[in-house]
Amino acid sequence: MLDTIPDIELLIELVDMEDLRCGDVNHPRGISFHTAEASAEFLIVAPCCGDRGLLCRTRSYYLKYQAATIHCMRCDARWAPDRYQFIPLPGVLPI
Ligand SMILES: [Zn+2]
Ligand SMILES: [Zn+2]
């Protein structure tokens, strides 16, 4: 987890937090209650290659507590959700 903290600090310097949108924009509504307009609240980090994405709260909650596995697109691998890190962005309550 320590490796990702500088990334968050860098992110804050580069981007106005209010401009951050959920990266999972193509995920269909309904399955996870994800809405494409929602702001990103969590940085999730894959255990394999460290691939990361910004996701809204509802999508993060779904992946962490309800999904059987999470798919790393880059490695085409599937991992149990507890292998992933869910890092709340500053000012965001953990899930
Ligand atoms: Zn990967
Ligand atoms: Zn979302």
Per-residue pLDDT of the chain (95 residues; tens, 9 = 90+): 455 666 766 665 655 555 677 777 655 555 566 776 788 899 999 999 999 888 889 889 989 999 999 999 899 999 999 999 999 988 889 98
Around ion ligand 2, which residues have CB less than 5 A away? 22, 24, 34, 38, 56, 59
Q: What is the pTM of this model?
A: 0.75
The per-residue pLDDT for 20 is: 73
Ligand nearest to the CA of 33: 2
Ligand nearest to the CA of 40: 2
Ligand nearest to the CA of 72: 1
Distance 87 CA to ligand 1 centre (A): 17
Using DSSP, state whether 15 is helix, strand or coil: coil
Distance of alpha carbon 70 from alpha carbon 88, whole angstroms: 18
The per-residue pLDDT for 39 is: 84
**CA 71, 37, 85: angle at the middle one, nearest 5?**
35
Domain assignments of the chain as residue spans, ordered by start: 2-70+81-88
